[in-house]
Amino acid sequence: MLDATPLTDSWILRYDGTDLPAEVPGCVHTDLLRHGVIPDPFLGRNETEVAWVGRREWTYEVELADGVSGGHDQTDLVFDGLDTAAEILLDGRLLGSVRNMHRSYRFDVTGMSGRLSVRFASAYAEAQAVRERLGDRPNAYPEPFQYIRKMACSFGWDWGPTLVTAGIWRPVRLERWSTARIARVRPLVTVDGTTGCVELLVDVERAAVEPGLRLEARIGDVRAVAEVDGTNGVVRLEVPRAELWWPRGYGEQPLYEVELTLYAGVDALDVWRRRIGFRALELDTSRDAHGSGFTFVVNGERLFVRGVNWIPDDVFPSRVTRERYHERLTQAADAGVDLVRVWGGGIYESEDFYDLCDELGLLVWQDFPFACAAYPEEQPLRGEVEAEARENVVRLMPHPSLVLWNGNNENLWGFKDWGWEERLAGESWGEGYYLGVLPRVVAESDPTRPYTAGSPWSGSWERHPNDPAYGTHHSWEVWNREDYAAYRREVPRFVAEFGWQAPPAYATLRRALADLGEELAADSPGMLHHQKAEDGNGKLERGLARHFVVPDGDFDRWHYLTQVNQARAVAAGIEHWRSHWPVCAGTIVWQLNDCWPVTSWAAIDGDGREKPLYHELRRLYADRLLTLQVRERRLVLAVVNQAAQAWKGEVRLRRMSVDGVVIGETDAGFTAGARTVAPVGVPKGLEPVGPKEFLVADTDGRRALHFPATDREIPYPQPEFDVSVAPGGVTVTARTLVRDLLLQADRLDPDARADRGLVTLLPGEQVTIGVSGWKTPDPDTARSALHCLEPGR
């Protein structure tokens, strides 16, 4: 039987005559940080002080005992991930050179021993050498990330630091085996009626000519056997009355373990085990009266996708454990998310990520790692791209959560709109990958899943790549140049990216900027260093000014209002687009998470704290949602029901003044069928007029509000409310209208968390905000952490 021995101990990181004990898996930065050689690059402006790390060579070494033992025929040295350009030597002999972070590598070291050295070149030096050979190409950032198959965002992004890593970032081991081993398994999983079908296409590597190799596979009590023909074999299993795997909110997530064993006679040589799920999958992109759609269909159920974009959860991805994945993905599921898009400037995540998505019912949209740049298609990159694609498509095939392969992020759009075509003057830029190599790899390796050439993509060069009426759409003009009310101008078929910025939580900022000794201010040097977007603060301020009086020198007020504006902006988009289902079939918010403490579009900041946006997503992505929308100059209540059962009831409509007086009210019945949207007309006499009035719609504990004026025009009363400490939380009782009340729990204690975000209370209403992690609760301290909208502010 194949014997695997992890190589995790006794590694040394060597540079300039210095030897440091190293952790493997890991990277140079984390080793240097652990030994105090560099400061924490997440704090203050330390990022700039450690820039030298990415521009020099590094060597990892370990003593390797005799590579042959236990009577095995062959010993392989296996690296699951090397970051990125490196030479591997054993006892001074070159085993090979590598240049791709996204691949694994295997070297035959049978009978060999001695000093194992992994010598990493600077990623900058490797990228520059490729650029000089292939010529310059445009990109969205001034770093050479498109010339090396490495996590692009380690070179910095408009939310990320420039920390160019090197190291053995995934596990390394010795594998000893005899006769033959299982080299690759492609599980094609389909559903035929009530029968689950699995076809295992197996590649075998042989160390000796051994006739009579066979494969035995099982799923529970279902078993099948097949002979190996040379180096290939196919085993088919059928599971009667298979339970279907569903996205969260639509059903359960049953998983079946498949075990495949390779035999020579009675001897078991190798075993492959994975969990699979049975589900039917379709991506409907057919033409209709509105253009062409982009609708996921799982087990015959058409979905409105409630998604988030995912970036690497740490700029040093070797630090992301299964426990951290579990925390972040559970946060996503708890917010009502049912799809996570793994963005193309990052990585193919670890098995833990996809395993957890399988368990949680989170659909995965997987980008191939291409983002915001023109990528050369010549060697040495072309061969690397195809090799990495083939490996990762096969690696991730078993996961039922994986529902889409996407060729790139914004590169087709960039070619059309960002001046690339003229600059390229006929040079290659990646089109051959997205419309040639990658769809061919997916079709050959994983024909059970759909592929799309990019995001955004309208399906054809006959239309603009970002045409909202066709396929996927990225909505960034709003954040960059307009008020978020502009989201309501159009109904894209599928919104794959949109978002609005806000700073991280107060405690996160305090930790990140503590060593600078500066007062927190929107434009302090520390705050600006942790704002990576072009004119990010200017866009934040202009976005505020359209709705509020921009605070002058009051950081706490600025911090609160930017959080409110972020939640309001995202709500404006999602409520509008959800109300137009099934024309619009999904939204994917940019973004769920951060990789360090930074002002960004994230709902969860770099320290894992939830912003108000996160709690707003729980409302926006709930199965049932009320939203008041203006349609053809009339106010309409859209009753959005994504649940499997019809929603029937009565909604109470109240036209009110900001002073709390009810001007008019009525009850209206509604019926929204399963997975439908039902419009309820608002009587003309209940439509609010002017800045002193608003409309409230309530049913089944859900509420929608409509204010016809911007906040800066509304004469809010001075908010009055009582605060008391309840068991496990804080109770607030309103004596006036209290708009967008927010308890910033991390101001009570850095470890404290609140169970909700923004809430609006009418006079006489009460809310209890659950708080965990607060060690010494008292009402005065609670009041100091409460914020709400105030007149003239």
Cis bond upstream, residue 211 (ω within 30): no
| 259: three-class secondary structure by DSSP | strand
Cα separation of 245 and 189, whole Å?
Answer: 12
| CB 399, CB 354: distance < 8 Å | yes
User: Residue 76: enclosing H or E segment and its boundaries?
Assistant: strand 74-79
In angstroms, the CA 388 to CA 445 distance is 13
Which conformational region is residue 449 in: left (phi greater than 0), alpha (psi within -120 to 50 degrees), or beta?
A: beta
Tell me whether strands 105-108 and 301-302 are parallel, antiparallel or unpaired: unpaired
- Residue 367 · residue 389 · CB < 8 Å: no
Rounded (5°) CA angle 37-43-48: 65
Angle at 585 between CA 581 and CA 588, to 5 degrees: 125
**DSSP code, position 155:** B
Helices (H), 219-310: none
3-state secondary structure of 324: helix
Whether 410 sits among the annotated catalytic residues: the reply is: yes
Alpha helices (runs of H) in 555-689, residue ranges in sequence order: 555-578, 612-620
Q: How far apart are CA 469 and CA 448, in angstroms?
A: 27
Identify the DSSP state of 84. S
- Give the C-alpha separation, 241 to 257, whole Å: 16
Residue with structure tokens 């260093």?
Answer: 529
Q: Quick one: 360 exposed, middle or buried, by C-beta within 10 A (0-12, 13-18, 19+)?
A: buried
Catalytic choice (126, 410, 497, 575): 410
**168 close to 79: Cβ distance less than 8 angstroms:** yes
Write out the E strands in 605-672.
624-631, 634-641, 647-657, 662-672
The secondary structure of 587-605 as a DSSP string is EEES-S--SSS-BBS-SB-
End-to-end Cα separation, the chain, in angstroms = 71
Residues annotated as part of the active site = 410
